[in-house]
Structure 1
Amino acid sequence: MGVFSRRVGLLAVLSAGLLAAPAVAQTQAPVRGGTLSIGVESDFEGFDPVKAGVYSNSTVTAASLFYETLMRLDDKGGLLPALALSMTPNEDGSIWVAKLRAGVKFHDGSPFTAQSVADHFNRLLDPNNRFAGRAYVAIEKVEVGDELTAVFKMRGPNAALPRTLAQPSVFSLIISVKALQEKGADYNRNPVGTGPFVFKEWRAADRLIAERNPNYWDKDRPYLDRVIVRPLPDSDARYASLVKGDVQVIWEDRAENIVKAKKDKNLITLHWVGSGALVVPLNTQREPLNDKRVRQAISMGLNRKGNAAILSQGLRPVYDDPYGPASGIACADTGALPYDPERAKKLLADYGKPVKLVQTVTATPRGRENAQVFQADMKKIGIDVEIKPVDQTQLVKETLSRDFLVSGWRIIDLADVDPQMFANFHSKSPINFSGYNNAEVDRLLLIGRTSLDENKRKAAYCDLIKILNDDVVWLWTGSNIDFAITRSNVRGIPALRGGAVQVEAAWLAK
């Protein structure tokens, strides 16, 4: 149990303490009061995780105002207490015991207890609710030990649980099931949590308004009186709003704007290099992509690294796996196919039929640019590509329902690679929207999920990536680096894990 003990030993002794330090160094004490406006990429899926199914980074930004996780991560990936003071495993990691913080209340005044934790997670795990996100974790059920003790029973040994639950996501952000039962269908637009801010208003496609929670368990926070989150799908318009001062923070991924921001003395650029990747998923269940020759031709015909260098102006290097440097997984051989247009043409000739594809992308400058580059590269090897721009909500809906041939997607940054890899590539996962089915991949994913030996886990993920790259299930087109740009007086925003802008500790300097 040596590796496992070293990995989780700290968890057993965690106690109440400071929250994550801000990414920008503070030179003065935090200032209370004020309104912070955040510009995000898309409107929100809603705040009932069962109905939403998936949270975009825009929704996680909003949901994190109202909901919280059991543990938190600091900017270096260390675990910190939040709603739970500690999470402690049994001998083999098949059971985890969470000791909860006393005195926490939901926004409606109801007490936060172990029953609240059990109700939240068991609702998501109930197969009758058809919650796609249950593929992200290997929890069998959550039981109540006592009022402030929640017991997580796993499907097998699992070393990743505390870190998985520490990062805000559609699964880990805890809602009030009691309030949901009382509000019924209205809850999706009227969230109730334990978080630093209380929901006030949501005007669809315009803005969401939250106000300071006067009864928040951390009496020193939040510092802000109000937060407004505004969906601004056009990245140039979003950046212009920041420059004008209409918003004080934006999530950004357009290289031109990031480069400009770095030269503007009135702006501060934040970034986080995480796991995950920008990807082009292929639907392996539909012709012509159900033929491996076609998929390999696409891979060898797409100049991934050259295109990324131009489109991202060097901001996003391309790796041959979705693990990222922060994961600690470095594979000597990823099995990545080379850029080789001539070999791609030979594979298509061997396939012997014309290949026409439709690529679904977000109707944003970034989406169109990436699609046009893909279209141009495919034309060089004899593949016709029709570009289908849709809004992000529609893209998510069509992709998750496998109503696509080629899509645009992003494996979000998570503290451990297990949830995303298992969810996206295990044959039984409801989020395996490429329809990929490979028994050896399933076996390797189970090792990654259940093994307590970190070396075995890393070896399994390296063997896994060689298979995925050879079968060309997804194309890795950019590293997962999240950027936010703020006005120069914004302080206290932590690492942008998962692309979420979290403002529990944010404040506005005078």
Structure 2
Amino acid sequence: MGRRWSSASMTSPRKRRRCWIGSRKRSNQRCIPFDGSPKIRAVVNGRGGAMRRAGALLLAGIMVGGLMAAASAQGKGGTLRAGLDADPPNMDPHRSTAAVDRQVYQNLFDKLMDTDENLQIIPMLAVSWTTSPDGRTVTLKLRQGVKFHDGTPFNAEAVKYNVERMKDPNFPSARRSEVLPVQKVTVVDPYTVALSLERPYSPLLYVLTDRAGMIVAPAEAKKAGTDFALHPVGSGPFRFVEKIPQDHITLERNPDYWIKGQPILERIVYRPFPDDNARVANLKSGDVDIINRTPLPQIRQLAQEASQPGARFKLLEHGAFSWQGIWLNVTKPPFDNKLLRQAFNATIDRNVIANVVLQGAAYPSYAFFPNGTPAYDPTWKIPPRNIPLAKEKLQAAGSPSGFSCTLLIVPGQVNQAIGQAVQAMAADAGIQVKLQIVEFGTMLHETDTLQHQAAFLGWSGRPDPDFDIYPFVTQSGIGSFNDAGYTNPQVQTLLDAARLLNDMDQRRRAYRQVTQILADDLPYLWLYFEKEYKLV
């Protein structure tokens, strides 16, 4: 979901935590058309390629045609109706960890910077930036003439407030680990702000192209406190109107948006359809114009239908940075025992999941970084299923007859299919997996507070690899992204060192070492990287 997602329709992002190529987790809830990617958002805003969401960048070129068609079908001033695979649980970008949230609020908030289709950083609210020779001061020149939806001005004081809000230990921030290296924020003049760093922090500029760079209206955030998510106020192309839980979210055009003449639409209405079949049916009937998280088991049938003359919809396929897996709570039984984690892992056949259960709509995975991303390592191998090894680990753990555990999944055809496959595979070694279906918001609460034993979740990916790994395996991510509750001093040291490096080859070596440690510790059981499909 931006952060994660849970495989609700199987397209998690990220928890995921955190959706689509971002966001945090996802519960296989995948990002819908307005997930923040520049071009995707550009469809709504009527602009070319300036604003796309970090992480979805590489996909925008394929998607933009279909999204444009959906938008233009409504005409300028019309309403675009979008079907989501879950009801977004948190509309505060500094607290949200679900990708499905981001699909909505990325239209409410502007970011300090954005990325283009080549993953190069481009201006947004910050028009230029410089980094000091020692790498410890980043100075931002800010756009003038921008107003928040409440009429207050965007300026350097607003940026200072936002960074300090995310760092505040008394605020339940999901962005803390992203801005932690920022020691001090100095207002140089009304439209210049300096970020003083404790040490060089190579991912910072990319961090500011995503949720940590989204600027909330200070006056409204101060007044609302932790209730800000109930009526979010930003400076984006759309303003929040209302949210009726489990029914709809309505956004309306911001008439004072700083890009004159934009956005082209008058309104966007998001409706949640956790049931995969209902989501597809509403698109086919014309009740919504576009849906996210197309159910993978239906891909072949939908492709055939979409290819027929006069078809009411198009099926778009594109790559993704997202992964899906089982997040194990290593702070409580049974998975506080590494041998039991290793036994569970050895029962899983990732090729069967990707190629049989998901009908080839995914790639087997065994690490955080998919092929095509900067930190990908081609030497990583998918471990084969090995029941004798699983039984050997059970014996060593003192549980020769196996053990039982509960795996949380969110509603959805794909989630249940994956859960049942894992359940059957584990049973061959005597591991009894109970599947418990919970609503996505409940899933995030259970995992963030480490009440779960195991959860089927995913992550949507980011352009810079730091945030694809750092918050999931370090202390600062516990309570937001690190739903394993996992810490390891060696991992922490390696990842902290990688943040100091600008050379990706050097960073990749650190990530390789961390991946080798995680392959043994197994706080997460990576299952697959997803291909992405959208129906429009």
SS in 2 for 1:38: strand
What is the match of residue 494 of structure 1?
Answer: none
One of 303, 315, 327 as aligned partner of 1:281: 327
Is contact 2:369-2:468 (8 Å) kept? no
Correspondence 1:91 to 2:133: yes
What is the match of residue 485 of structure 2?
Answer: 435
Is contact 1:86-1:98 (8 Å) kept? yes
One of 138, 141, 163 as aligned partner of 1:121: 163
For structure 1, which segment, 270-279 or 286-295, has the greater mean C-alpha deviation from structure 2 after superposition?
270-279
One of 370, 388, 391 as aligned partner of 2:418: 370
Residue 146 and residue 326 in structure 1: after superposition, are their counterparts in 2 closer, same or farther (change >3 A)? farther
What is the match of residue 406 of structure 1?
Answer: 454
Residue 364 and residue 262 in structure 1: after superposition, are their counterparts in 2 closer, same or farther (change >3 A)? same
SS in 1 for 2:185: strand
Query: For 1:384 and 1:18, how far apart are their aligned partners in 2?
Result: 49
Is contact 2:374-2:504 (8 Å) kept? no
Is contact 1:335-1:467 (8 Å) kept? no
What is the match of residue 64 of structure 2?
Answer: 24
Q: CA deviation at 1:61?
A: 1.1
SS in 2 for 1:208: strand
Q: Write the deviation string for residues 396-446 of structure 1: whole angstroms up to 9, x where unpaired.
A: 110111111111111221111212311110134323221222111111111
Q: CA deviation at 1:375?
A: 0.6
Correspondence 1:422 to 2:434: no
What is the match of residue 199 of structure 2?
Answer: 156
Q: CA deviation at 1:272?
A: 4.5
Is contact 1:164-1:414 (8 Å) kept? no
One of 170, 175, 200 as aligned partner of 1:133: 175
Q: CA deviation at 1:455?
A: 1.5
What is the match of residue 314 of structure 1?
Answer: 360
| Runs (5+) with no aligned partner, structure 1 | 1-15, 487-510
SS in 1 for 2:442: helix
Q: CA deviation at 1:338?
A: 3.1
Q: CA deviation at 1:382?
A: 0.9
Q: CA deviation at 1:17?
A: 9.8
What is the match of residue 301 of structure 1?
Answer: 347
SS in 2 for 1:106: coil
Identity of aligned residues (%): 28
| Runs (5+) with no aligned partner, structure 2 | 1-46, 52-59
Q: CA deviation at 1:107?
A: 0.9
Query: For 1:101 and 1:203, how far apart are their aligned partners in 2?
Result: 34
Query: For 2:360 and 2:381, how far apart are their aligned partners in 1?
Result: 24
Correspondence 1:106 to 2:148: yes
Q: How many residues align?
A: 467
Residue 81 and residue 238 in structure 1: after superposition, are their counterparts in 2 closer, same or farther (change >3 A)? same
Q: Write the deviation string for residues 118-174 of structure 1: whole angstroms up to 9, x where unpaired.
A: 11121111112142331234333432121111222223212222222213x3x3322
SS in 2 for 1:446: helix
Q: Write the deviation string for residues 2-56 of structure 1: whole angstroms up to 9, x where unpaired.
A: xxxxxxxxxxxxxx99624764349999752211011112112233346xx3331
RMSD: 2.3
Query: For 1:335 and 1:436, how far apart are their aligned partners in 2?
Result: 23
Is contact 1:17-1:81 (8 Å) kept? no
One of 336, 343, 354 as aligned partner of 2:389: 343
One of 445, 469, 483 as aligned partner of 2:495: 445
What is the match of residue 337 of structure 2?
Answer: 291
Query: For 1:336 and 1:250, how far apart are their aligned partners in 2?
Result: 32
Is contact 2:237-2:263 (8 Å) kept? yes
What is the match of residue 34 of structure 1?
Answer: 78
What is the match of residue 375 of structure 2?
Answer: 329
Q: Which amino acid aligns with 1:403?
A: Q
One of 255, 258, 271 as aligned partner of 1:217: 258
Q: Write the deviation string for residues 340-394 of structure 1: whole angstroms up to 9, x where unpaired.
A: 1121112212222241111111122222211111110000111111111101110
Q: Which amino acid aligns with 2:416?
A: R
Correspondence 1:46 to 2:46: no
Query: For 2:396 and 2:294, how far apart are their aligned partners in 1?
Result: 39
Query: For 1:260 and 1:92, how far apart are their aligned partners in 2?
Result: 56
What is the match of residue 55 of structure 1?
Answer: 97
What is the match of residue 144 of structure 1?
Answer: 187
Query: For 1:184 and 1:125, how far apart are their aligned partners in 2?
Result: 15
What is the match of residue 484 of structure 1?
Answer: 534
SS in 2 for 1:326: coil
Query: For 2:130 and 2:262, how far apart are their aligned partners in 1?
Result: 27
For structure 1, which segment, 394-403 or 298-307, has the greater mean C-alpha deviation from structure 2 after superposition?
298-307
Q: Which amino acid aligns with 2:285?
A: K
Is contact 1:34-1:224 (8 Å) kept? yes
